[in-house]
């Protein structure tokens, strides 16, 4: 792999997206970032990302980088990274479309696509498999343990693919934090998680009519029971999470409690049905054995 060839290609094309610190060129399997970077920080991120990957976390890794003057604190440079599968959660319009708009009116029209597409995006989150939510939360906890941080206010740092699940991108080096160490740190983690899963959908719904806003809240409430189940598996109790939701998101909490009851009733029925099938299989095997003995 050679970062130089991607840099040469990027010089003759417009960037695809732009974040706070970098311009991004998207290729089939890689992304090339151009911005001002620090060698020590990049090396730390690479090491800590490798540590998190050893724990099974899905993170976009930095493959190569070049900085024009590594002795400077921050200088112009390039980073070549793995391209994440899927697309950002809650996002229906690319930054490239917005950047290419010539007038403010065009930009506003493009942004409104997010409003109309918001319910569709939430339906995707409703259909996320339970095991994918389980891994998403476990990965995030491991990422923090390894000394990495990800900005929860930017939903384009979180990609989702229906087959591959969630992937974290644009992580930074931070402190090694065990978010399960205290009750307060658990609440902090719940807050960061809900900033990602809820706040963006509510932000886009601000421009909707009241009936549409209610529809958004109902959609959000439908996938929260899966998150609650995943948190419980990671030592964050349902009781704590319910209290958090009631305090921070009371409207959604009321709907969520109803959906939660339905969710766990459905879950218990599935378990019951599986047990009945297993009992039936055991009985059939006993009959087969008895017939052979006869």
* CATH number of the domain residue 25 falls in: 3.30.200
Residue 273 lies in a domain: no
Domain residues for the domain of 62 are: 10-82
Phi, psi of 79 (to 5 degrees): -130, 130
Measured CA to CA, the distance from residue 236 to residue 192 in angstroms comes to 14
Residue 255 lies in a domain: yes
Residue 67 lies in a domain: yes
Residue 288 lies in a domain: no
Residue 217 lies in a domain: yes
Number of compact structural domains in the chain: 2
pTM value is: 0.80
Final residue of a structural domain among 34, 64, 82: 82
Tokens linked to 62: 């930095």
Per-residue pLDDT of the chain (294 residues; tens, 9 = 90+): 689 999 999 988 888 887 767 899 999 999 999 999 999 999 999 999 999 999 999 999 999 999 987 666 788 999 999 999 998 887 655 566 667 778 888 877 766 665 556 777 888 899 999 999 999 999 999 999 999 999 888 888 999 999 999 999 999 999 899 999 999 999 999 999 999 998 876 765 555 556 667 778 888 899 999 999 999 999 999 999 999 999 999 988 888 777 666 655 565 666 556 555 555 555 555 545 444 443
């Amino acid at each position: 792999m050679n970062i130089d060839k991607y840099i040469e290609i990027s010089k003759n094309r417009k960037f695809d997206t732009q974040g706070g610190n970098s311009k991004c060129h998207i290729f089939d399997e890689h992304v090339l970032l151009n911005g001002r970077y620090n060698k020590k920080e990049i090396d730390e991120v690479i090491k800590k990302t490798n540590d998190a990957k050893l724990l099974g976390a899905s993170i976009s890794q930095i493959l190569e980088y070049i900085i024009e003057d590594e002795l400077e604190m921050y200088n112009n440079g390039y980073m070549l990274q793995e391209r994440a599968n899927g697309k950002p959660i809650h996002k229906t319009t690319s930054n490239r479309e917005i950047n290419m708009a010539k007038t403010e009116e065009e930009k506003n029209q493009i942004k409104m696509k997010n409003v109309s597409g918001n319910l569709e995006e939430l339906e995707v989150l409703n259909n996320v498999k339970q095991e994918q939510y389980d891994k998403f939360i476990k990965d995030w906890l491991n990422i923090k343990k390894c000394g990495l941080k990800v900005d929860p206010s930017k939903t384009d740092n979180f990609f989702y693919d229906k087959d591959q699940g969630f992937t974290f991108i644009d992580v930074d080096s931070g402190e090694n934090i065990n978010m399960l160490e205290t009750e307060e740190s658990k609440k902090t983690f719940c807050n960061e998680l809900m900033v990602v899963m809820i706040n963006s959908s509510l932000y886009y719904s601000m421009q909707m009519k009241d009936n549409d806003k209610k529809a958004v809240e109902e959609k959000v409430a439908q996938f929260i029971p899966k998150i609650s189940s995943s948190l419980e598996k990671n030592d964050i109790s349902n009781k704590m999470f319910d209290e958090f939701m009631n305090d921070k998101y009371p409207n959604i909490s009321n709907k969520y409690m109803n959906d939660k009851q339905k969710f766990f009733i459905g879950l218990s029925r599935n378990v019951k049905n599986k047990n009945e099938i297993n009992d039936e299989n055991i009985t059939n095997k006993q009959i087969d054995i008895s017939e052979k003995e006869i």
